[in-house]
Amino acid sequence: MHLSRYFLPVLRETPKEAEIVSHQYMLRAGMVKQASAGIYSWLPMGLRVLNKIADIVREEQNRAGAIEVLMPTIQSADLWRESGRYDDYGKEMLRIQDRQERDMLYGPTNEELITQIFRDSVKSYRDLPRNLYHIQWKFRDEIRPRFGVMRGREFLMKDAYSFDLSEEDGRKSYNRMFAAYLRTFARMGLKSIPMNAETGPIGGDLSHEFIILAETGESQVYGHQDLFDGDIPPADLDFYGDLTPVVDQWTSLYAATDEMHDAARFEAEVPADKQVSARGIEVGHIFFFGTKYSDPMGCRVQTPDGDMANIQMGSYGVGISRLAGAIIEACHDDKGIKWPVPVAPFEVGLINLKAGDEGTDTACGAVYEQFTNAGIEILYDDTNERAGGKFATMDLIGLPYQIVIGPKGLKDGQAEVTDRQTGAQESISLDTVANVIAKRVKQQRLLV
């Protein structure tokens, strides 16, 4: 992509309304624009990141055996009356009436709708287990939308729902999502820790929040230091095998959010030098709630004995739009974002220091083509802006590799390469630079 033909409305000043760094950088780097409180338009740079996050989530859901569907954003209130949640949900639910004066709502979550779909289609235990997920916008009329996309009112969520015959099988489905989440966040360059959590309005008694540490996190969290070096399940994990070792490894050490924190247990179980007490961001949340929805909504199957049984269910959320902000909170410096390769909007940024000069234009054009042919996503700054501005923009938008070609290096046939993550700089010959960097990028696409 040539920057001269792109849409990248960069802001030089920090917008006053943005309190935390991810919000500031997302606005400054032209990723999002607020449409109204807690509601954002995603501009090209932001959308590329959002799509990459969604793709990783999708790949890991599919790997764990979940099946993608797409449910609507607008739901009927009657469905929520069946589960009893229409009245319980409170003001966070955006309630609407259609022209027939039927009560509708903009879905804050989808337990009811998926239960209806499943109930009307599946009648036998033979069709279990199943896990259906979708990636869809949600609306919650948060009392205090803030921190940009981190606590929006409209936000993109992946939500999966598992259906099993027995509680024991239901826990296996839960464990599959547990393992899938560890991989999902690790692939984005994040260290996520599953923590015992409250179930809130979703219900049930088994629940983990996946938390990443960041100073600006909204939750206070407590855990054992060794959790931060836990093993991420491999790509070829057998998701239908015994996953209890994975879950046990990640749940045997103390980890809890504020609401579930037990100070006495923390002191007793975690040695003083291993105690972590920090701020965290919730990026995912999984629940096992048994028959909470299947019972009132009549979602039953025939058992092998010919009896009817309520289906055992769980639900599993990932905050896809929140993750765009959360990754920035975890990966930045005072100049801008430092995208991990797997979620970077482009993998390489190329700066032409003297656009319009025949020599640099030709050299940049050749390098650009080599990267493109190698299947690398590259943003080429071919504009006439002064060098300082180009460097500042490139640092701000945080592409993993910056390649600078100017008249000086050109004389020696060299390009200057900066690794945005480490800050390491090196000169690489113009003939080989695309090859060398393409290879590094490809190695970093799959972090786990």
Which CB, 149 or 297, lies closer to ligand ATP? 149
Give the dihedral sign, CA 401/447/334/42.
positive
With binding defined as CB under 6 A, does residue 247 bind ligand ATP? no
The size of the interface with Mg ion (CB under 5 A), counted in residues, is 1
Please state the closest distance from residue 209 (CB atom) to Mg ion, in A: 6
Show contacts with ligand ATP in window 182-201 (CB under 6 A): 200
Q: How many residues bind ligand ATP (CB under 6 A)?
A: 17
Which of 23, 28, 119, 140 binds ligand ATP (CB under 6 A)? It is: 140
Q: Which of 28, 285, 292, 420 binds ligand ATP (CB under 6 A)?
A: 285
Cα-Cα-Cα-Cα dihedral sign, residues 12, 17, 19, 22: negative
* Site stretch for ligand ATP (CB under 6 A), options 68-76, 172-180, 282-290, 380-388: 282-290
Is 230 an interacting residue with respect to ligand ATP (CB under 6 A)?
A: no
413 alpha carbon, distance to own chain's centre: 41
Closest C-alpha to 156, from 397, 323, 8: 323
Q: How far is the CB of 111 from Mg ion (least distance, A)?
A: 13
The verdict on 217 binding ligand ATP (CB under 6 A) reads no
Length of the chain: 448
177, 45 contact by CB (below 8 A): no
Give yes or no for residue 234 binding ligand ATP (CB under 6 A).
no
Cα separations in angstroms, 436 against 146, 353, 401, 424: 42, 21, 11, 15
Q: Residues 6 or more apart from 180 whose CB is under 8 A from it?
A: 60, 61, 63, 64, 66, 239
377 contributes a contact to ligand ATP by CB under 6 A: no
3-state secondary structure of 374: coil
Q: Which residue is nearest to ligand ATP (CB)?
A: 319
What is the rounded CA–CA span in Å between residue 142 and residue 153? 6
Write the CB contacts of 248 (distance below 8 Å, at least 6 apart in sequence): none
Contacts with ligand ATP in 91-130 (CB under 6 A)? Answer: 109
Q: Does 381 bind ligand ATP (CB under 6 A)?
A: no
> Which of 149-157, 266-274, 374-382, 387-395 is the region at the interface with ligand ATP (rule: CB under 6 A)?
149-157
- Binding to ligand ATP (CB under 6 A) within 293-332 occurs at 317, 319, 321-322
Question: Which residue of 151, 153, 183, 285 would you call a contact of Mg ion, by CB under 5 A?
Answer: 285
Beta bridge partners of 221: 257, 278
User: Shortest Cβ distance from residue 200 to ligand ATP (Å)?
Assistant: 6
Pairwise CA distance, residues 165 & 173, whole Å: 11
Using CB under 6 A, which of 103, 142, 295, 357 touches ligand ATP? 142
**Residue closer to ligand ATP, measured from CB, 178 or 346:** 178
Here's the x/- map for ligand ATP, 66-95, by CB under 6 A: it reads as ------------------------------
Phi, psi of 326 (to 5 degrees): -65, -40
- Candidates 84-92, 152-160, 283-291, 364-372 — which segment interacts with Mg ion by CB under 5 A? 283-291
Of residues 138, 165, 164, the one with CA closest to residue 73: 138
CB of 99 to ligand ATP, least distance (A): 29
Residue 319 interacts with which of Mg ion, ligand ATP, none, CB < 5 to 8 Å by class: ligand ATP
**Is 11 exposed, middle or buried, given 0-12, 13-18 or 19+ CB atoms closer than 10 A?**
middle
The mark string for 393-432 relative to ligand ATP (x by CB under 6 A, - otherwise) is: ----------------------------------------
- According to DSSP, the β-strands at 219-224 and 154-164 are unpaired
For residue 355, give both structure tokens.
Answer: 């656009």
Distance CA 54, CA 376 (A): 19
Binding site for ligand ATP (CB under 6 A): 109, 140, 142, 151-152, 155, 157, 200, 202, 282-285, 317, 319, 321-322
